[in-house]
Amino acid sequence: MLSEFGEERQRRLVLDYFGGDARLRLLRRTPTFGSPVFVVDFDRGARHYRTLGSFGSSIQVTEQSSMDLLYPARLVFHYERLMSLAFAMSRQAVTALLLGVGGAAMWRFMRAYLPDCAPTLVDADEVIPAIARRWFYLTDPVILEPAQQYVATTPRRFDVVLVDLYNSAGPAESDVRFWGRCLDLLNPGGCLANNWADFSVNPAVRPMADALDRVAQARGLAPIYVTKRGFRDNLVQYVPTAPGVVAEAMADIHERFIRERRPPDRGRGILENCIIATRFPIE
Ligand SMILES: C[S@@+](CC[C@H](N)C(=O)[O-])C[C@H]1O[C@@H](n2cnc3c(N)ncnc32)[C@H](O)[C@@H]1O
């Protein structure tokens, strides 16, 4: 149970963050996530959103996943749209591993725009997928296991591996062993993409991104980094394994993705004002 005081304070924090008209739908503890999580509905102009949120190490509100209530298959966060490009950076997109379920945004997108690609979902916290089922339309099963354990033991292979592992303390710990296993799971020509939130201010990010870089380079693979110019919030690190999928080809890959998959808004803005780099974009 949340204590009365804690719960009241958390309600206030949510309403301060999302606005007094926001409707808090759920506030509950989780076994492994590290803070209570909540579901809140709110309006921004004519758009209506539902967000799965949590509380950071201090008392700040953190958005884990968001859904446009009128167009649930649209990816609300820009970094998710960037991650969706991994499907076009892979030689084929028949199977995908989603590490970190959250509010199932990527799963809804896949179902609508990549219906021929079978997702496998993994999450460490049983409460999150239960919330995704109740509030975010998830209907597929979820493997309840830490991602590190899943990738270490699964015999399966995937065309696309999307890593988006966060809890109340920030990004899940990842080392060379984890990234080596993630790359082992790729089919030939497959692509991995990882989301680094707060990459310019969180000192934990760089060593983990470097670990992935090293593991990739040791296999002769060249990571690609994409982030919104001047935004410095989320950075997506891709490791494509298909020949020719290089930083210079991203614009063409983006165009092909739009032609073949027809994402919302014709994919406008996915790469607009983005830095596309072959190294971590800040020193
Ligand atoms: C930002 S959310 C993912 C959002 C998701 N990409 C989407 O499409 O909505 C982060 C998720 O990672 C999960 N997570 C954190 N650490 C984990 C770990 N070590 N293994 C598996 N899941 C983990 C959390 O429970 C949470 O559901």
Average pLDDT, rounded, for the chain = 95
Query: Does residue 73 surpass a pLDDT of 60?
Result: yes
Q: Which tens digits make up the pLDDT trace of 208-252?
A: 999 999 999 999 999 999 999 987 789 999 999 999 999 999 999
Q: What residue ranges do the domains of the chain occupy?
A: 4-68, 78-277
Report the atom number in ligand 1 closest to the C-alpha of 64: 1
**pLDDT for the residue 68:** 98
Query: Ligand 1 within 6 A of 68 CB?
Result: no
Residue 156's SS3 state is coil
What phi and psi values does residue 191 have, to the nearest 5 degrees?
A: -140, 135
Query: Ligand 1 within 6 A of 119 CB?
Result: no
DSSP lists the bridge partners of residue 50 as 41, 67
**pLDDT for the residue 57:** 67
Query: Ligand 1 within 6 A of 106 CB?
Result: yes
pLDDT band at 74 (very low <50, low <70, confident <90, very high): very high
Query: Ligand 1 within 6 A of 213 CB?
Result: no
Query: Ligand 1 within 6 A of 237 CB?
Result: no
Query: In the chain, where do the E strands start and end?
Result: 23-28, 37-44, 47-55, 61-68, 95-99, 118-123, 142-144, 158-163, 166-167, 170-171, 186-197, 224-228, 234-240, 274-277
- Integer Cα distance of 173 and 235 in angstroms: 17
- Integer Cα distance of 167 and 37 in angstroms: 10
Q: Whose CA is nearest to atom 13 of ligand 1?
A: 100
Q: Which tens digits make up the pLDDT trace of 189-219?
A: 999 999 999 999 999 999 999 999 999 999 9
Q: Which of 6-15, 38-47, 57-66, 159-168 has the lowest mean pLDDT?
A: 57-66
Q: Which tens digits make up the pLDDT trace of 115-159?
A: 999 999 999 999 999 999 999 999 999 999 999 999 999 999 999
Tokens of 211: 């670990």
For 176: left if phi > 0, alpha if psi spans -120 to 50, otherwise beta; the answer is alpha
**pLDDT for the residue 1:** 43
- What is the mean pLDDT of the segment spanning 32-44? 94
pLDDT band at 58 (very low <50, low <70, confident <90, very high): low
Residues near 252 by Cβ (< 8 Å), separated by ≥ 6?
Answer: none
Give the CATH fold of the 78-277 domain. Rossmann fold (3.40.50)
